[in-house]
Amino acid sequence: MNARLTRGNKLCHFSLSKKGDSEAVREIFIEIDIDFIYRELEVWKEVSMSNDCSVYDEAKSREHLFRYCKSLMKVVAAVYLVNKAVLSKSKKGDCSLIFDSVVADVECARALKFLKEDEGNSPVIAIRRHFKKFSLAYSKIEVRDMLDAVITYKGKYKVNKSCLLIFYECLTVLLKVAKRILDRETK
């Protein structure tokens, strides 16, 4: 999706259904491309840091938000790559997930720009690093705090508030799926 989310092109709500993680992630990345998620996350970060009436009114909390958003984008990119690998595996019937072939995909090049080389070769590394710093519960709280800051923002920066909850749901589903990927990897 190249355009911003508006009432005219509202998406269905993202959720982890009985269909499973891969179905929810597939639905997200069919409707929203990774560049849009990155741009929207940047808007949320800027607005959150600019909002005088948010939990980010102190310098230390703004620094923390900056680090969190960078890590969150890596998680989104990692989940995107894992999803691409799973789709490739299911189409080819191959039992092994080989990220090298997925990385060659042009669409994946956009996701790779957010990751270090080792994370691109094994996206679970980015997920592991995120959850080592930020628990799932903390991550969901941070995303909710950003949502609150965007909703209450009254500055001069123009913010499209028509689909904030859908984007919030998208981020929380991606975080939950990332945690499940990590949990499966460590078993």
Task: Determine the longest span between alpha carbons in the chain, in angstroms.
Answer: 53
Is 13 part of a structural domain of the chain?
no
**Which pLDDT band holds residue 24 (cuts at 50, 70, 90)?**
confident
Q: What is the pTM of this model?
A: 0.81
Q: Specify the pLDDT at position 13.
A: 53
pLDDT at 94: 43
The residues, any chain, with a CB within 8 Å of residue 60's CB and separated by 6 or more, are none
Give the tens place of pLDDT for each residue, 52-65. 888 888 888 889 99
Chain segment 62-83, per-residue pLDDT in tens:
899 999 999 999 999 999 888 8
Number of domains forming the structure of the chain: 1
pLDDT value of position 147: 95
Is residue 23 in some structural domain? yes
| Closest listed residue to residue 115, CA positions, set 99, 101, 136 | 99
Q: Is residue 173 part of a domain?
A: yes
Task: Please tell me the distance from the alpha carbon of residue 178 to that of residue 175, in angstroms, as a whole number.
Answer: 5
Asked if the structure places residue 3 within a domain, the reply is no
What is the per-residue pLDDT for 46?
92
Q: Does residue 11 lie within any of the structural domains?
A: no
Stronger pLDDT, 11 or 155, i.e. the higher one = 155
- Residue 45 has phi, psi (to 5 degrees) of -65, -50
Asked whether residue 99 is domain-assigned, the answer is yes
pLDDT at 19: 58
How far apart CA 187 and CA 128 sit, in angstroms, is: 13
Q: What is the pLDDT of residues 34-48, one digit of tens each?
A: 888 999 999 999 999
Residue 5 has pLDDT above 90, yes or no: no
pLDDT tens sequence across 131-186 = 999 999 999 999 999 999 999 998 888 887 878 888 898 899 999 999 999 998 88
How far CA 56 is from CA of 40, 42, 44, 115, 161, in Å, comes to 18, 15, 12, 26, 19
Q: Is residue 6 part of a domain?
A: no
**Structural domain harbouring 181:** 19-186
Hey, what's the torsion of the CAs at 26, 32, 37, 40, to 10 degrees? -150
> Pick the residue with more confidence: 142 or 14?
142
Structure tokens belonging to residue 72: 């969150």
DSSP state of 15: -
Average pLDDT score over residue span 88-109: 51
